[in-house]
Structure 1
Amino acid sequence: MKDNSDIDYKRRTHYIIIALLGIAVLWLNYCSLRAHVSSNSRLITDYQPKEDELARYRNPAVAGIFYSADKDRLDSEVEHYLADTASPLDYQPRILIVPHAGYVYSASTAAKAYGRLQKYAAKIKNVILLGPSHRVAFRGAALPSADFFATPLGAVPVNRELTAQLAALPGFKIDDHPHKEEHSLEVQLPFLQKVLKKFKIIPVVYGEVDPGLLAQALEPLVERDDTLLVVSADLSHYNDYETARELDGRTADMVANNQAELENHMSCGADGINAALLIAKEAALRPEMLELLNSGDTSGDKQRVVGYGAWSFGEGEKPASKPKLSPLERETENLKLFAAAYKDQLRRIVSRSLAEAVRHKHYSPARKDYGNELFDKGASFVTLKQNGELRGCVGTVVPHVAVAHDLAENAYRAAMEDGRFSPLTEEELSRTRFSISLLTGFERVPYWDESDLLNRIRPGIDGLIIRDGDRQGLFLPSVWKELPDKAEFLKNLKVKAGFNPSYWSNNIKVYRFRTVEINDED
């Protein structure tokens, strides 16, 4: 019989052997790892993370606000908008102008442009996105440091090479702040993701900037066959429906004629559109308007609307046509047709208003007594003369009421409220002649100096407005009959605005307009 001490000894020996074997295994593993590390130190020091671990993303700022944040729903909505577009264009678009409002308001208009890209999707590898800054005030143009712009449909890569090239140019810089919350570029991405195949973007947000600087920088890129410029811009803001239609119509005329003179009240993206027009003119690209409407057409609210338009620019063959009229010339021709058709009714309004005025009453034309077209908005002047001498002249420059009401009111004011003359009396009425001036819209006259301005003025044709600070003067084209010399015309206009005849400043803003004249004895 074995005693207990012998059993305990054997157990201890067994445990010791197991422990030693464990230590040996650990030692061998340590030696093996040490040898591996010392012979291949790159295992530790040369570790390279995957590309997307280092990439910087610009995350969506307006998903769920301007468009759906749900991937499937967004995909379906964009597909729906694109399905409602016409067949592809017969030329590859080089520039698009598209709106950037919430999808419920303007996506259908944007889709009119994006849908035309499908035929050329494989050719387009780079898209320059050019949009105005709505939240951050700054000078110049900002490019992002991000490698990707994300949407619910996925991430779109940024072309870092081209972005760096632009950032090196005057007026451009890398600055993420304007991009962080900006919607004007972001809302374009889902459309591009649905239409194009493999592409990269060059996102440019601009603040206060010279359109010429933008055009000069972007034109070399737009000339590349694989590059598309998308200009993000809504049109007029917060006018009533009819005013918006008129103002946006003028914008459309300017785009149609590559007239890069849009002002900020015409579009929040005026500088971007002007840059596109400068590029188009230099590259001989022709514009094509695809749609023009406003939020009153899409939402139903016509009190305060925002205008939306879609254009495409390409190198397609131009159809044979008559020489294009400028927007001002076209408006003048339309105004002549209107005057010819309604001159008798227009004369009757002024005659009745003068007859009531000398009795200290106002005349209000009723719609039942005149053609419907006379109740569209219009601007007019009424001039009174006696024996060839001025007896009163009052008018409006910007349309704000129906032309019938505008004429009636201006006739009353010319007779009774022109501060240069005493109120017209009933006894004077029979020897008082009147003339009506119907005004076109006005356009800015660019110039380098006063001499250059004089060269641009057209005697006998142009009505002029000059403005500097809070001072302003206006001469109708009819004043050329009294002041046929351009220099004298301008000097007298400066006096009318409250300046010395020799006054000059490059801050003076000059506008021209045309009129159609109707005399009471025509």
Structure 2
Amino acid sequence: MAGRVFPEDPLELARTVRDWLARTAPMADRLVATPRAVIAPHAGLPVCGAVMAGAWSATRDAAPDRIVLLAAAPMPDFTGIAVPVHHGAIEIPGKKLRIDRDACRALIRSGRAHGREAAFEAQPGIDAHLPFARFLHPRVPVVPLVVGQVAPARIAAVIDRLDRLPGQTLFVLSSDLGRAGTAAEARRLQARTAALIETGQGARLTPDAASGALVLAGWQGSQAGQGCRALRLGHAVTHPKGGGPVSGHGAWAVYPPQGALLPDGLSEVLLDVARRAVGSGLSRGTAPHMRPDSYALPLRTLMASAVTLTAGGTCIGSAATLTPHLPLVADVAGNAARAALRDPRATGRAPDPQALGIEIDLLGPATPLEMPDEAALLARLVPGETGLALSDAGRHAMLLPSAWAELDDPQLFVAALRRKAGLPPDHWSATQQIRLLHAERLVAPAEALPVAA
């Protein structure tokens, strides 16, 4: 694919990759965690180099023992999952990347993949990423996988098999987004696709929306991808030089359910947004008008949140969304204003802004739980780490992981959740819906809140 997805000349290739990575370095410098996976396009350096570099830059500080490249087969009649079996390395201009042959053979022996060298001929979903892998992780072997028409559960099984290998595995999920007749249509399709990726609904993706739809569905259905959070790092639409459909491209870093998520500095931005929303609510009775497109891409990720207001160490108002449907920055602003204006504990109290503290919980995708009995439910809870959401008989309630500070026993935690929903503390029914929650908490100490102009 040299000459098509990257330059044929070794020096030009190295210079091009280095330049693209340098352009995305400011965001990479702010990242505070190492992703488990990245989602990156593969149309090639001339077409979407900036978006590709944005995804790969997130892996800059990673130290993986192997890099798994997953791409959909361009041939519609291809079935199964293919790995290379006869070659020990992949060549790009001036360099070679070692293939993890032990991992490939293990997949073949397990029956989860088969050796098929032809699947890797003219495969942009794999080839386009090789220069970045070689430049950022020169000594790390790769496990290239071409995915044909196969159930997402089989892809998930392969991902989990590789994730259980000794050491750290970095997954690169290769996918361009959909094509459309105009740039406006491409952006709308891109937004719908991004929403499914960011809200953990990869199973609903179609090849028209994302070329790697099966790969993304397999990742989100795997144990490795369960509950993971996708943070938006890049997006673009491109127009082919010779005319034709407009293509969408996006980049995401995918993080575990727990741990720091937002790049350095953006937590403060989000807390400031909440302060301003509360200040506007207290002084004007309305939430401020939000323009999400004016904020950094990670803050435009669709994500649910909860905002808690405190005065003198006591909660006086809170509001939350369980199902993500807005850009994070808009969701936080809306919840902050609702906590100040609509929570009965805050209504009419007009707390002194100088004595007001703000806590924001960033909620990852909620994981549905199907538990046979209460003992199984209690066994899934990890004090201090997991929260729960409950819906049944028209009643709803949620307890965030922070609630463990006052409820240090799983049985007490579940009983408190039921009471919050207006249900008996020992309630159990076949119609209840229980979801497991993870959250990252941001805290702003009490201070004066800005008053909206």
Alignment of 1:252 with 2:252, yes or no, is no
Structure 1 residue identity aligned to 2:231? E
Q: How does 1:210-229 map to 2 (within 5 A)?
A: 210-222=151-163, 225-229=167-171
Matched residue, 1:104? 46
Q: How does 1:284-303 map to 2 (within 5 A)?
A: 284-296=227-239
Matched residue, 1:137? 77
Alpha-carbon distance between aligned partners in 2 of 1:326 and 1:182, rounded to the nearest angstrom: 35
Q: How does 1:104-253 map to 2 (within 5 A)?
A: 104-120=46-62, 123-135=63-75, 137-145=77-85, 146-222=87-163, 225-253=167-195
Are 2:81 and 2:146, in contact at CA under 8 Å, matched by a contact in 1?
yes
Partner of 2:82, secondary structure, is: strand
Structure 1 residue identity aligned to 2:88? D
Matched residue, 1:68? 7
Partner of 2:235, secondary structure, is: strand
2, 13, 17: which is aligned to 1:78? 17
Q: CA deviation at 1:266?
A: 0.4
Q: How does 1:23-34 map to 2 (within 5 A)?
A: none
Structure 1 residue identity aligned to 2:254? F
Alpha-carbon distance between aligned partners in 2 of 1:135 and 1:207, rounded to the nearest angstrom: 8
Are 1:128 and 1:229, in contact at CA under 8 Å, matched by a contact in 2?
yes
Structure 2 residue identity aligned to 1:100? H
> Per the alignment, do residues 104 and 167 of structure 1 end up closer, same or farther by CA in structure 2, a change over 3 Å counting?
same
Point out the more displaced range, 311-320 or 62-71. Answer: 311-320
Structure 1 segments unaligned to the other structure (5+ residues): 1-61, 335-522
Cα deviation digits, residues 272-326 of structure 1 (max 9, x gap): 1111222377543211111122114xx6888621110101111333576333425
Structure 2 residue identity aligned to 1:179? F
Point out the more displaced range, 239-248 or 75-84. Answer: 239-248
Are 2:100 and 2:142, in contact at CA under 8 Å, matched by a contact in 1?
yes
313, 323, 326: which is aligned to 1:325? 323
Partner of 2:8, secondary structure, is: coil
Structure 2 residue identity aligned to 1:163? C
Cα deviation digits, residues 458-477 of structure 1 (max 9, x gap): xxxxxxxxxxxxxxxxxxxx
Q: How does 1:369-448 map to 2 (within 5 A)?
A: none
Q: CA deviation at 1:198?
A: 1.3
Alpha-carbon distance between aligned partners in 2 of 1:212 and 1:128, rounded to the nearest angstrom: 17
Q: CA deviation at 1:267?
A: 1.1
Are 1:132 and 1:269, in contact at CA under 8 Å, matched by a contact in 2?
yes
Are 1:153 and 1:190, in contact at CA under 8 Å, matched by a contact in 2?
no
Cα deviation digits, residues 107-154 of structure 1 (max 9, x gap): 11010011122222xx21200110011147321111112111100131
> Per the alignment, do residues 276 and 153 of structure 1 end up closer, same or farther by CA in structure 2, a change over 3 Å counting?
farther
Partner of 1:168, secondary structure, is: helix
Structure 1 residue identity aligned to 2:210? S
Structure 1 residue identity aligned to 2:189? L
Report which structure shows greater RCO (CA 8 Å, sep ≥6).
2
Alpha-carbon distance between aligned partners in 1 of 2:88 and 2:76, rounded to the nearest angstrom: 21
Cα deviation digits, residues 90-119 of structure 1 (max 9, x gap): 111111110011311111101001112222
Alpha-carbon distance between aligned partners in 2 of 1:324 and 1:63, rounded to the nearest angstrom: 46
Using structure 1 for the length normalisation, give the TM-score: 0.48
> Per the alignment, do residues 90 and 222 of structure 1 end up closer, same or farther by CA in structure 2, a change over 3 Å counting?
farther
Are 2:163 and 2:224, in contact at CA under 8 Å, matched by a contact in 1?
no
Structure richer in helix, relative to its length: 1
Cα deviation digits, residues 236-273 of structure 1 (max 9, x gap): 02432111111110111111111121011101111011
Using structure 2 for the length normalisation, give the TM-score: 0.55
> Per the alignment, do residues 136 and 63 of structure 1 end up closer, same or farther by CA in structure 2, a change over 3 Å counting?
farther
Cα deviation digits, residues 318-339 of structure 1 (max 9, x gap): 5763334255x99xx99xxxxx
Cα deviation digits, residues 489-513 of structure 1 (max 9, x gap): xxxxxxxxxxxxxxxxxxxxxxxxx
> Per the alignment, do residues 282 and 118 of structure 1 end up closer, same or farther by CA in structure 2, a change over 3 Å counting?
closer
Structure 2 residue identity aligned to 1:63? A
Cα deviation digits, residues 351-387 of structure 1 (max 9, x gap): xxxxxxxxxxxxxxxxxxxxxxxxxxxxxxxxxxxxx
Partner of 1:255, secondary structure, is: helix
Greater Rg over alpha carbons, structure: 1
Are 1:185 and 1:203, in contact at CA under 8 Å, matched by a contact in 2?
yes
> Per the alignment, do residues 105 and 215 of structure 1 end up closer, same or farther by CA in structure 2, a change over 3 Å counting?
same
Structure 1 residue identity aligned to 2:60? Q
Alpha-carbon distance between aligned partners in 2 of 1:181 and 1:105, rounded to the nearest angstrom: 17
Cα deviation digits, residues 79-100 of structure 1 (max 9, x gap): 0100011234211111111001
Matched residue, 2:315? none
Sequence identity (%): 23
Structure 1 residue identity aligned to 2:215? G
> Per the alignment, do residues 287 and 222 of structure 1 end up closer, same or farther by CA in structure 2, a change over 3 Å counting?
farther
Structure 2 residue identity aligned to 1:162? A
Matched residue, 1:364? none
Q: CA deviation at 1:211?
A: 1.3
Partner of 1:119, secondary structure, is: coil
Alpha-carbon distance between aligned partners in 2 of 1:73 and 1:131, rounded to the nearest angstrom: 26
Are 2:28 and 2:60, in contact at CA under 8 Å, matched by a contact in 1?
no
Are 1:280 and 1:313, in contact at CA under 8 Å, matched by a contact in 2?
no
Structure 2 segments unaligned to the other structure (5+ residues): 263-304, 307-319, 332-453
Are 1:234 and 1:308, in contact at CA under 8 Å, matched by a contact in 2?
yes
Are 1:169 and 1:217, in contact at CA under 8 Å, matched by a contact in 2?
no
Matched residue, 2:206? 263
Q: How does 1:475-494 map to 2 (within 5 A)?
A: none
Partner of 1:214, secondary structure, is: helix
Matched residue, 2:222? 279
Point out the more displaced range, 217-226 or 163-172. Answer: 217-226
Are 2:36 and 2:170, in contact at CA under 8 Å, matched by a contact in 1?
yes
> Per the alignment, do residues 222 and 311 of structure 1 end up closer, same or farther by CA in structure 2, a change over 3 Å counting?
farther
- Number of matched residues? 270
Alignment of 1:305 with 2:305, yes or no, is no
Are 1:96 and 1:230, in contact at CA under 8 Å, matched by a contact in 2?
yes
Structure 2 residue identity aligned to 1:201? V
